């Protein structure tokens, strides 16, 4: 029992140090009181559950997009971090959609759909999660948010920490 308590205290102390580091300016992308960062690889390797794990291991949550400023900042940040041999990156967000109703969760999320999306109706009932499709060219009109099944594997995830 004592070893579990010591382990939890150590984790809490480490998390406090990481938050202090972020507040000192070691955040890759800060929008308001949120620090965003992305974990991106050059091949498809992570489904949504894996994306959640990636963020949790870094004491973060899968990132939400709350407004247009955050959306543009995350898109530009991701664009700068696309692996050199790729022309685009597909990354998980924490936004969900009910493909039967088109309702998005959280309800106040900023949404900018990729042309032809969201895919809704019974045929797309398993497309409950929202990814960002980010192209290297900022003016490419074929980029934005896409709803996909959580079992699909993608390049990575955007994570967030409230600071």
DSSP labels, 59-86: T-EE----SHHHHHHHHHHHHHTS-TT-
Radius of gyration of the chain (CA): 17
Give the β-pairing of 156-162 and 88-97: parallel
What token pair was written down for 17?
A: 């140090």
Q: Residue 25: what pLDDT?
A: 56
Q: How many residues does the chain have?
A: 163
Q: Residue 85: what pLDDT?
A: 86
CB 144 within 8 A of CB 112: yes
Q: Which residues pair with 31 in a beta bridge?
A: 34
Fold exhibited by the domain 29-162: Mannose-Binding Protein A; Chain A (3.10.100)
The series of mean pLDDT values per 10 residues for the chain, 163 residues long, is 53 47 69 96 96 97 98 97 93 98 98 97 98 95 97 98 95
SS3 123: helix
Q: Residue 114: what pLDDT?
A: 97
CB 100 within 8 A of CB 130: no
């Amino acid at each position: 029992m004592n070893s579990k308590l010591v382990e939890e205290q150590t984790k809490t102390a480490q998390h406090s140090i990481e938050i202090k580091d972020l507040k000192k300016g070691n955040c890759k992308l800060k929008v308001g009181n949120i620090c965003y960062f992305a974990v991106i690889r050059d091949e498809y390797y992570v489904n949504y559950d894996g994306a959640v794990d990636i963020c949790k291991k870094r004491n973060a949550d899968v990132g939400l997009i709350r407004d247009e400023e955050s959306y543009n900042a995350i898109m530009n940040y991701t664009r700068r971090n696309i692996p050199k041999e790729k022309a685009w990156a597909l990354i998980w967000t924490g936004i969900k959609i009910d493909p039967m109703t088109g309702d998005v969760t959280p309800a106040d999320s900023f949404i900018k759909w990729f042309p032809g999306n969201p895919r809704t109706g019974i045929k797309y009932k398993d497309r409950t999660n929202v990814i960002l499709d980010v192209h290297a060219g900022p003016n490419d009109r074929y980029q934005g948010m896409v709803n996909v099944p959580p079992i699909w594997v993608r390049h990575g995830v955007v994570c967030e920490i409230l600071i």
